[in-house]
Amino acid sequence: MKEVNIESKLYVFKNFEELPNEATLLMQKAIKAREKAYAPYSKFYVGAALLLDNNEIVTSNNQENASYPSGLCAERTAIYYAGSQYPNAKVIRMAITAGSKNKQTTNPIPPCGACRQVIAEYEIKQNTPIEIYFMGEIGKIVKSNSLANLLPLMFDKSVL
Ligand code: THU
Protein backbone atom coordinates (compact mmCIF):
# COMPACT_ATOMS: atom_id res chain seq x y z
CA MET A 1 0.00 0.00 0.00
CA LYS A 2 1.21 3.48 -0.67
CA GLU A 3 -0.31 6.80 0.12
CA VAL A 4 -1.03 9.14 -2.77
CA ASN A 5 -1.50 12.84 -2.22
CA ILE A 6 -3.45 14.93 -4.69
CA GLU A 7 -2.87 18.66 -4.71
CA SER A 8 -4.98 21.50 -6.04
CA LYS A 9 -3.66 25.03 -6.25
CA LEU A 10 -6.04 27.95 -5.75
CA TYR A 11 -5.46 31.70 -5.75
CA VAL A 12 -7.48 33.77 -3.28
CA PHE A 13 -8.17 37.46 -3.86
CA LYS A 14 -9.25 39.48 -0.81
CA ASN A 15 -11.90 41.42 -2.67
CA PHE A 16 -12.97 42.81 -6.02
CA GLU A 17 -10.24 45.46 -6.00
CA GLU A 18 -7.55 42.79 -5.88
CA LEU A 19 -8.90 40.95 -8.92
CA PRO A 20 -6.86 41.13 -12.14
CA ASN A 21 -8.51 43.44 -14.70
CA GLU A 22 -9.24 40.57 -17.05
CA ALA A 23 -11.55 39.02 -14.46
CA THR A 24 -13.31 42.16 -13.22
CA LEU A 25 -15.61 42.74 -16.18
CA LEU A 26 -16.46 39.07 -16.40
CA MET A 27 -17.38 38.92 -12.71
CA GLN A 28 -19.51 42.06 -13.11
CA LYS A 29 -21.36 40.31 -15.93
CA ALA A 30 -21.82 37.23 -13.74
CA ILE A 31 -23.33 39.43 -11.00
CA LYS A 32 -25.78 40.95 -13.50
CA ALA A 33 -26.68 37.44 -14.66
CA ARG A 34 -27.17 36.28 -11.06
CA GLU A 35 -29.70 39.05 -10.51
CA LYS A 36 -31.82 37.55 -13.31
CA ALA A 37 -31.72 33.95 -12.04
CA TYR A 38 -34.97 32.05 -11.81
CA ALA A 39 -34.70 30.49 -8.36
CA PRO A 40 -38.12 30.76 -6.67
CA TYR A 41 -37.67 27.46 -4.79
CA SER A 42 -34.17 27.61 -3.33
CA LYS A 43 -33.87 31.42 -3.35
CA PHE A 44 -30.22 30.71 -4.14
CA TYR A 45 -29.21 32.82 -7.12
CA VAL A 46 -26.20 31.92 -9.23
CA GLY A 47 -24.73 33.78 -12.20
CA ALA A 48 -22.02 32.68 -14.60
CA ALA A 49 -20.16 34.53 -17.35
CA LEU A 50 -17.84 32.97 -19.90
CA LEU A 51 -15.28 34.67 -22.09
CA LEU A 52 -14.73 32.88 -25.40
CA ASP A 53 -11.70 33.13 -27.67
CA ASN A 54 -13.88 34.84 -30.31
CA ASN A 55 -14.35 37.65 -27.75
CA GLU A 56 -17.99 36.78 -27.12
CA ILE A 57 -19.14 36.86 -23.51
CA VAL A 58 -21.90 34.40 -22.67
CA THR A 59 -23.82 34.84 -19.43
CA SER A 60 -26.45 32.74 -17.75
CA ASN A 61 -27.97 31.78 -14.42
CA ASN A 62 -29.72 28.94 -12.64
CA GLN A 63 -33.18 27.99 -13.87
CA GLU A 64 -35.35 26.11 -11.41
CA ASN A 65 -38.49 24.06 -11.89
CA ALA A 66 -41.44 22.94 -9.75
CA SER A 67 -40.16 19.47 -10.55
CA TYR A 68 -36.92 20.20 -8.70
CA PRO A 69 -34.48 17.90 -10.55
CA SER A 70 -35.52 19.44 -13.87
CA GLY A 71 -33.84 22.72 -12.94
CA LEU A 72 -30.29 23.45 -14.02
CA CYS A 73 -27.29 25.24 -12.51
CA ALA A 74 -25.97 28.53 -13.87
CA GLU A 75 -22.64 27.06 -14.93
CA ARG A 76 -24.27 24.40 -17.05
CA THR A 77 -26.86 26.64 -18.69
CA ALA A 78 -23.98 28.99 -19.55
CA ILE A 79 -21.54 26.46 -20.96
CA TYR A 80 -24.22 24.53 -22.83
CA TYR A 81 -25.38 27.76 -24.40
CA ALA A 82 -21.79 28.62 -25.38
CA GLY A 83 -21.31 25.12 -26.79
CA SER A 84 -24.52 25.29 -28.77
CA GLN A 85 -24.00 28.79 -30.19
CA TYR A 86 -20.23 28.80 -30.73
CA PRO A 87 -19.25 25.15 -31.15
CA ASN A 88 -15.75 25.99 -32.39
CA ALA A 89 -14.89 28.66 -29.83
CA LYS A 90 -12.74 27.94 -26.81
CA VAL A 91 -13.74 29.05 -23.33
CA ILE A 92 -10.92 31.10 -21.89
CA ARG A 93 -12.33 32.07 -18.54
CA MET A 94 -15.43 31.62 -16.41
CA ALA A 95 -16.71 33.79 -13.54
CA ILE A 96 -19.29 32.50 -11.06
CA THR A 97 -21.11 34.28 -8.24
CA ALA A 98 -23.82 33.03 -5.89
CA GLY A 99 -26.07 34.67 -3.34
CA SER A 100 -29.04 33.63 -1.23
CA LYS A 101 -32.22 35.51 -0.33
CA ASN A 102 -32.01 33.88 3.12
CA LYS A 103 -28.56 35.06 4.24
CA GLN A 104 -25.65 36.95 2.80
CA THR A 105 -23.22 34.69 1.01
CA THR A 106 -19.75 35.81 2.00
CA ASN A 107 -17.82 32.66 1.07
CA PRO A 108 -16.72 31.84 -2.46
CA ILE A 109 -19.13 29.28 -3.94
CA PRO A 110 -17.42 26.68 -6.13
CA PRO A 111 -19.28 24.94 -8.97
CA CYS A 112 -21.10 21.77 -7.88
CA GLY A 113 -19.77 18.35 -8.84
CA ALA A 114 -22.14 17.92 -11.77
CA CYS A 115 -21.11 21.30 -13.20
CA ARG A 116 -17.44 20.44 -12.78
CA GLN A 117 -17.99 17.26 -14.78
CA VAL A 118 -19.73 19.22 -17.54
CA ILE A 119 -17.12 22.00 -17.68
CA ALA A 120 -14.44 19.28 -17.76
CA GLU A 121 -15.94 17.91 -20.97
CA TYR A 122 -15.41 21.27 -22.69
CA GLU A 123 -11.93 21.74 -21.26
CA ILE A 124 -10.94 18.38 -22.71
CA LYS A 125 -12.72 19.07 -26.01
CA GLN A 126 -10.87 22.36 -26.52
CA ASN A 127 -7.57 21.04 -25.17
CA THR A 128 -6.78 24.25 -23.27
CA PRO A 129 -7.46 25.06 -19.63
CA ILE A 130 -10.48 27.08 -18.56
CA GLU A 131 -9.74 29.60 -15.81
CA ILE A 132 -12.44 29.61 -13.15
CA TYR A 133 -13.14 32.49 -10.75
CA PHE A 134 -15.82 32.06 -8.10
CA MET A 135 -17.22 34.15 -5.28
CA GLY A 136 -20.27 34.61 -3.06
CA GLU A 137 -22.07 37.93 -3.12
CA ILE A 138 -19.25 39.83 -1.43
CA GLY A 139 -15.82 39.04 -0.08
CA LYS A 140 -13.10 36.75 -1.29
CA ILE A 141 -12.78 35.51 -4.85
CA VAL A 142 -11.06 32.23 -5.64
CA LYS A 143 -9.32 31.41 -8.91
CA SER A 144 -8.43 28.00 -10.30
CA ASN A 145 -6.21 27.89 -13.37
CA SER A 146 -8.18 25.02 -14.81
CA LEU A 147 -11.21 22.85 -14.27
CA ALA A 148 -9.02 19.76 -13.96
CA ASN A 149 -7.50 21.37 -10.88
CA LEU A 150 -10.99 21.32 -9.28
CA LEU A 151 -11.80 17.74 -10.28
CA PRO A 152 -9.09 15.28 -9.32
CA LEU A 153 -9.60 11.71 -10.55
CA MET A 154 -11.81 12.97 -13.34
CA PHE A 155 -13.89 10.54 -15.39
CA ASP A 156 -13.36 11.30 -19.06
CA LYS A 157 -13.57 9.89 -22.56
CA SER A 158 -10.12 8.31 -22.38
CA VAL A 159 -11.60 5.26 -20.66
CA LEU A 160 -14.46 4.71 -23.12
N1 THU B 1 -26.68 25.98 -8.29
C2 THU B 1 -25.97 26.50 -9.32
O3 THU B 1 -26.52 27.23 -10.16
N4 THU B 1 -24.66 26.18 -9.42
C5 THU B 1 -23.99 25.36 -8.56
O6 THU B 1 -22.84 25.05 -8.78
C7 THU B 1 -24.67 24.90 -7.34
C8 THU B 1 -26.12 25.12 -7.26
C9 THU B 1 -28.11 26.27 -8.20
C10 THU B 1 -29.01 25.09 -8.43
C11 THU B 1 -30.25 25.49 -7.68
O12 THU B 1 -31.06 26.29 -8.53
C13 THU B 1 -29.73 26.38 -6.54
O14 THU B 1 -28.43 26.77 -6.92
C15 THU B 1 -29.68 25.67 -5.19
O16 THU B 1 -29.00 24.47 -5.26
Model confidence pLDDT, tens digit, residues 86-119:
999 999 999 999 999 999 999 999 999 999 999 9
Residues whose CB falls within 8 Å of the CB of residue 65, separated by 6 or more in sequence, listed in order: 71
Q: Whose CA is closest to atom 8 on ligand 1?
A: 73
Active site residues: 75
For residue 117, the model assigns a pLDDT of 98
Q: Which residues contact 151 (CB under 8 A, 6 or more apart)?
A: 116, 117, 120
Among 62, 118, 134, say which to mutate for ligand 1: greatest number of ligand atoms within 8 Å of CB: 62
**d(C-alpha 160, C-alpha 131), whole Å:** 26
**Considering Cα of 106, then 152, then 73, then 21, what sign does the dihedral take?**
positive
Average pLDDT over residues 18-40: 97
- Residue 157 — very low, low, confident or very high, per pLDDT cuts 50/70/90? very high
Give residue 1 CA to ligand 1 midpoint distance, Å.
Answer: 38
Reduced to 3 states, what is the DSSP secondary structure of residue 96? Answer: strand
Beta carbon of 47 within 6 Å of any ligand 1 atom: no
Q: Please count the helices (runs of H) and the strands (runs of E) in the chain.
A: 3, 6
pLDDT of residue 28: 98
Alpha-carbon gap, residue 50 to 83, rounded angstroms: 11
The pLDDT value recorded for residue 37 is: 98
Mean pLDDT of the chain: 97
Separation of alpha carbons 48 and 32, rounded Å:
9
To 5 degrees, how large is the angle CA 113–CA 6–CA 3? Answer: 125
